[in-house]
Protein backbone atom coordinates (compact mmCIF):
# COMPACT_ATOMS: atom_id res chain seq x y z
CA UNK A 1 0.00 0.00 0.00
CA UNK A 2 1.30 3.44 -0.93
CA UNK A 3 0.81 5.96 1.87
CA UNK A 4 -1.43 8.88 1.01
CA UNK A 5 0.29 12.21 0.55
CA UNK A 6 3.72 10.66 0.05
CA UNK A 7 5.63 7.43 0.16
CA UNK A 8 8.23 5.65 2.18
CA UNK A 9 10.73 3.60 0.20
CA UNK A 10 10.21 -0.11 0.73
CA UNK A 11 13.11 -2.42 1.49
CA UNK A 12 14.03 -5.13 -0.99
CA UNK A 13 13.12 -8.70 -0.14
CA UNK A 14 10.99 -10.25 2.55
CA UNK A 15 11.54 -9.22 6.19
CA UNK A 16 13.40 -11.65 8.46
CA UNK A 17 11.43 -14.07 10.60
CA UNK A 18 12.41 -12.15 13.75
CA UNK A 19 11.46 -8.76 12.27
CA UNK A 20 10.33 -6.42 15.08
CA UNK A 21 7.35 -4.53 13.71
CA UNK A 22 7.42 -1.71 16.25
CA UNK A 23 11.08 -0.95 15.42
CA UNK A 24 10.30 -0.94 11.72
CA UNK A 25 7.41 1.46 12.29
CA UNK A 26 9.60 3.78 14.37
CA UNK A 27 12.19 3.86 11.57
CA UNK A 28 9.47 4.72 9.07
CA UNK A 29 8.34 7.60 11.25
CA UNK A 30 11.91 8.86 11.54
CA UNK A 31 12.43 8.61 7.78
CA UNK A 32 9.23 10.54 7.07
CA UNK A 33 10.04 13.34 9.51
CA UNK A 34 13.60 13.54 8.18
CA UNK A 35 12.39 14.04 4.61
CA UNK A 36 9.34 16.17 5.51
CA UNK A 37 10.22 18.21 8.62
CA UNK A 38 7.49 20.13 10.38
CA UNK A 39 4.69 17.56 10.12
CA UNK A 40 1.94 17.13 12.73
CA UNK A 41 1.22 13.65 14.05
CA UNK A 42 -1.82 13.16 11.81
CA UNK A 43 0.26 13.81 8.69
CA UNK A 44 3.02 11.50 9.92
CA UNK A 45 0.44 8.76 10.50
CA UNK A 46 -1.03 9.23 7.02
CA UNK A 47 2.35 9.14 5.28
CA UNK A 48 3.36 6.00 7.21
CA UNK A 49 -0.03 4.28 6.84
CA UNK A 50 -0.30 3.97 10.62
CA UNK A 51 -3.22 4.68 12.94
CA UNK A 52 -3.11 7.84 15.05
CA UNK A 53 -2.77 6.06 18.41
CA UNK A 54 0.25 4.02 17.29
CA UNK A 55 1.86 7.09 15.74
CA UNK A 56 1.46 9.11 18.95
CA UNK A 57 3.24 6.37 20.92
CA UNK A 58 6.09 6.17 18.41
CA UNK A 59 6.51 9.94 18.10
CA UNK A 60 6.56 10.47 21.87
CA UNK A 61 9.14 7.70 22.30
CA UNK A 62 11.36 9.13 19.57
CA UNK A 63 11.03 12.61 21.09
CA UNK A 64 11.91 11.31 24.55
CA UNK A 65 15.07 9.63 23.20
CA UNK A 66 16.10 12.77 21.29
CA UNK A 67 15.54 11.52 17.75
CA UNK A 68 12.57 13.87 17.24
CA UNK A 69 11.81 17.33 18.61
CA UNK A 70 8.30 18.73 19.13
CA UNK A 71 8.02 22.36 18.04
CA UNK A 72 5.76 24.95 19.68
CA UNK A 73 3.10 24.55 16.98
CA UNK A 74 2.84 20.80 17.65
CA UNK A 75 4.80 19.66 14.59
CA UNK A 76 7.95 17.51 14.67
CA UNK A 77 11.48 17.72 13.27
CA UNK A 78 14.51 15.47 13.68
CA UNK A 79 16.47 15.85 16.91
CA UNK A 80 20.12 16.15 17.87
CA UNK A 81 20.54 12.39 18.27
CA UNK A 82 20.17 11.94 14.51
CA UNK A 83 23.05 14.37 13.93
CA UNK A 84 25.14 12.59 16.57
CA UNK A 85 24.65 9.23 14.81
CA UNK A 86 25.69 10.83 11.52
CA UNK A 87 28.87 12.29 12.98
CA UNK A 88 29.66 8.95 14.63
CA UNK A 89 29.31 7.26 11.24
CA UNK A 90 31.59 9.80 9.57
CA UNK A 91 34.17 9.35 12.33
CA UNK A 92 33.91 5.57 11.97
CA UNK A 93 34.48 5.74 8.23
CA UNK A 94 37.35 8.19 8.77
CA UNK A 95 38.48 8.06 5.17
CA UNK A 96 41.80 9.69 4.21
CA UNK A 97 41.47 13.44 3.63
CA UNK A 98 42.71 13.15 0.03
CA UNK A 99 40.56 10.13 -0.89
CA UNK A 100 38.05 11.96 -3.09
CA UNK A 101 40.85 13.83 -4.87
CA UNK A 102 42.60 10.54 -5.68
CA UNK A 103 39.34 8.90 -6.81
CA UNK A 104 38.55 11.93 -8.96
CA UNK A 105 41.96 11.82 -10.63
CA UNK A 106 41.55 8.12 -11.32
CA UNK A 107 38.14 8.71 -12.89
CA UNK A 108 39.55 11.50 -15.06
CA UNK A 109 42.32 9.20 -16.32
CA UNK A 110 40.21 6.13 -17.09
CA UNK A 111 36.68 7.52 -17.49
CA UNK A 112 35.25 4.95 -15.07
CA UNK A 113 33.49 5.19 -11.71
CA UNK A 114 35.95 4.82 -8.82
CA UNK A 115 35.14 3.46 -5.36
CA UNK A 116 36.92 3.45 -2.01
CA UNK A 117 36.10 0.63 0.40
CA UNK A 118 37.05 -0.01 4.01
CA UNK A 119 37.48 -3.23 5.95
CA UNK A 120 36.91 -2.78 9.67
CA UNK A 121 35.38 -4.95 12.39
CA UNK A 122 34.38 -7.62 9.90
CA UNK A 123 32.48 -5.20 7.63
CA UNK A 124 33.40 -4.07 4.12
CA UNK A 125 31.82 -0.68 3.49
CA UNK A 126 31.81 1.82 0.62
CA UNK A 127 33.17 5.13 1.94
CA UNK A 128 33.77 7.13 -1.24
CA UNK A 129 32.46 7.21 -4.82
CA UNK A 130 33.26 9.34 -7.88
CA UNK A 131 31.05 8.54 -10.87
CA UNK A 132 32.54 8.14 -14.35
CA UNK A 133 30.81 8.15 -17.75
CA UNK A 134 32.16 4.76 -18.80
CA UNK A 135 30.62 2.77 -15.96
CA UNK A 136 27.06 1.60 -15.37
CA UNK A 137 25.31 2.87 -12.26
CA UNK A 138 25.55 0.25 -9.51
CA UNK A 139 22.92 1.04 -6.88
CA UNK A 140 24.47 -1.35 -4.35
CA UNK A 141 27.80 0.48 -4.41
CA UNK A 142 26.95 3.74 -2.66
CA UNK A 143 28.55 5.45 0.32
CA UNK A 144 27.60 3.78 3.59
CA UNK A 145 26.48 0.48 2.08
CA UNK A 146 28.03 -2.84 2.98
CA UNK A 147 29.69 -4.61 0.06
CA UNK A 148 29.10 -8.21 -0.95
CA UNK A 149 32.71 -9.19 -0.37
CA UNK A 150 32.74 -12.50 -2.23
CA UNK A 151 31.28 -11.14 -5.47
CA UNK A 152 32.93 -7.74 -5.93
CA UNK A 153 36.51 -6.87 -6.83
CA UNK A 154 36.58 -4.40 -3.95
CA UNK A 155 35.59 -7.10 -1.48
CA UNK A 156 37.87 -9.71 -3.01
CA UNK A 157 40.87 -7.37 -2.78
CA UNK A 158 40.18 -6.71 0.89
CA UNK A 159 39.64 -10.42 1.59
CA UNK A 160 42.88 -11.27 -0.21
CA UNK A 161 44.70 -8.85 2.09
CA UNK A 162 43.53 -10.80 5.15
CA UNK A 163 45.52 -13.59 6.73
CA UNK A 164 44.27 -17.04 5.69
CA UNK A 165 42.66 -17.94 9.08
CA UNK A 166 40.85 -14.58 9.27
CA UNK A 167 39.64 -14.88 5.68
CA UNK A 168 38.31 -18.42 6.20
CA UNK A 169 36.51 -17.27 9.35
CA UNK A 170 34.96 -14.38 7.40
CA UNK A 171 33.79 -16.63 4.54
CA UNK A 172 32.30 -19.17 6.94
CA UNK A 173 30.15 -16.53 8.66
CA UNK A 174 28.85 -14.65 5.60
CA UNK A 175 26.22 -15.69 3.09
CA UNK A 176 27.84 -16.32 -0.31
CA UNK A 177 24.88 -15.27 -2.42
CA UNK A 178 24.94 -16.02 -6.18
CA UNK A 179 24.41 -12.62 -7.84
CA UNK A 180 25.03 -14.02 -11.34
CA UNK A 181 25.85 -17.39 -12.89
CA UNK A 182 29.54 -16.43 -12.54
CA UNK A 183 29.50 -15.76 -8.79
CA UNK A 184 31.85 -17.94 -6.77
CA UNK A 185 29.88 -19.39 -3.85
CA UNK A 186 32.13 -22.24 -2.70
CA UNK A 187 34.14 -20.96 0.29
CA UNK A 188 36.97 -23.42 -0.36
CA UNK A 189 37.32 -22.33 -3.99
CA UNK A 190 37.10 -18.67 -3.00
CA UNK A 191 39.73 -19.03 -0.31
CA UNK A 192 42.09 -20.80 -2.71
CA UNK A 193 41.68 -18.09 -5.38
CA UNK A 194 42.08 -15.23 -2.93
CA UNK A 195 45.08 -16.84 -1.29
CA UNK A 196 46.77 -17.07 -4.69
CA UNK A 197 46.30 -13.34 -5.43
CA UNK A 198 49.64 -11.57 -5.80
CA UNK A 199 50.34 -8.87 -3.24
CA UNK A 200 50.25 -5.43 -4.85
CA UNK A 201 48.43 -6.62 -7.99
CA UNK A 202 44.83 -5.63 -8.70
CA UNK A 203 42.10 -8.23 -8.21
CA UNK A 204 39.59 -8.56 -11.05
CA UNK A 205 36.10 -10.04 -11.10
CA UNK A 206 34.31 -10.85 -14.35
CA UNK A 207 30.54 -10.49 -14.13
CA UNK A 208 30.25 -11.99 -10.66
CA UNK A 209 28.31 -9.08 -9.16
CA UNK A 210 26.43 -7.84 -12.24
CA UNK A 211 26.11 -9.44 -15.65
CA UNK A 212 28.10 -7.57 -18.25
CA UNK A 213 30.14 -5.64 -15.68
CA UNK A 214 33.77 -6.26 -14.71
CA UNK A 215 35.62 -4.61 -11.83
CA UNK A 216 39.24 -4.28 -10.73
CA UNK A 217 40.46 -3.34 -7.25
CA UNK A 218 43.76 -2.77 -5.49
CA UNK A 219 44.51 -2.61 -1.77
CA UNK A 220 45.96 0.65 -0.44
CA UNK A 221 49.34 -0.05 1.19
CA UNK A 222 49.20 0.72 4.90
CA UNK A 223 51.09 3.71 6.22
CA UNK A 224 51.10 2.25 9.74
CA UNK A 225 50.50 -1.26 10.99
CA UNK A 226 47.33 -0.41 12.88
CA UNK A 227 45.68 1.48 9.99
CA UNK A 228 42.39 0.10 8.65
CA UNK A 229 42.55 -1.72 5.32
CA UNK A 230 41.35 0.27 2.29
CA UNK A 231 40.93 -0.65 -1.38
CA UNK A 232 40.22 1.31 -4.55
CA UNK A 233 38.10 -0.16 -7.36
CA UNK A 234 36.70 0.75 -10.76
CA UNK A 235 33.75 -0.72 -12.66
CA UNK A 236 33.67 -1.21 -16.44
CA UNK A 237 31.09 -2.43 -18.92
CA UNK A 238 32.05 -5.71 -20.54
CA UNK A 239 33.69 -8.95 -19.52
CA UNK A 240 37.12 -7.62 -18.49
CA UNK A 241 39.05 -4.60 -17.28
CA UNK A 242 41.88 -3.54 -19.63
CA UNK A 243 45.43 -4.00 -18.32
CA UNK A 244 46.11 -0.27 -18.62
CA UNK A 245 43.13 0.49 -16.37
CA UNK A 246 44.28 -2.09 -13.84
CA UNK A 247 47.66 -0.35 -13.71
CA UNK A 248 45.94 2.99 -13.07
CA UNK A 249 43.99 1.45 -10.18
CA UNK A 250 47.23 0.20 -8.62
CA UNK A 251 48.84 3.63 -9.06
CA UNK A 252 45.83 5.32 -7.43
CA UNK A 253 46.13 2.96 -4.45
CA UNK A 254 49.80 3.91 -4.13
CA UNK A 255 48.87 7.61 -4.37
CA UNK A 256 46.43 7.26 -1.51
CA UNK A 257 49.08 5.56 0.61
CA UNK A 258 51.41 8.51 0.05
CA UNK A 259 53.35 7.10 -2.87
CA UNK A 260 54.22 9.16 -5.91
CA UNK A 261 52.72 8.63 -9.34
CA UNK A 262 55.18 7.88 -12.10
CA UNK A 263 55.23 10.57 -14.78
pLDDT tens, position by position, 143-179 = 777 778 899 999 999 999 988 999 999 898 888 999 9
- Its pTM stands at 0.65
The predicted-structure confidence for 67-105, as pLDDT tens digits, reads as follows: 999 999 999 999 988 877 765 666 556 677 788 899 999
- Fold held by 92-256: Beta-Lactamase (3.30.450)
pLDDT over 70, % of the chain: 87
Residue-wise pLDDT for 45-54, tens only, equals 999 999 999 9
Yes or no: domain 21-83 corresponds to CATH 1.10.1740.10: no
Higher confidence at residue 2 or residue 252?
A: 252
Domain with CATH 3.30.450.40 in the chain: 92-256
The Cβ of residue 117 has, within 10 Å, a number of other Cβ atoms equal to 29
What is the location of CATH 1.10.10.10 in the chain? 21-83
Which 3-state string (H, E, C) describes 163-199?
CHHHHHHHHHCCCCCCCCCCCCCCHHHHHHHHHCCCC
pLDDT of residue 11: 52
Amino acid sequence: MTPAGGSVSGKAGAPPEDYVQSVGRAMRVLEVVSTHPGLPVKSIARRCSLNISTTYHLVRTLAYTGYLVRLADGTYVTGDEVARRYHELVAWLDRPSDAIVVLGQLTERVGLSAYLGLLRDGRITIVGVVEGPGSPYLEDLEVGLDVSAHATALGKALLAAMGAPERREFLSHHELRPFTANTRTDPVVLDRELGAARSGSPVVEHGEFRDGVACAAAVVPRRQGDDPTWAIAVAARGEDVPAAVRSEVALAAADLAGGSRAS
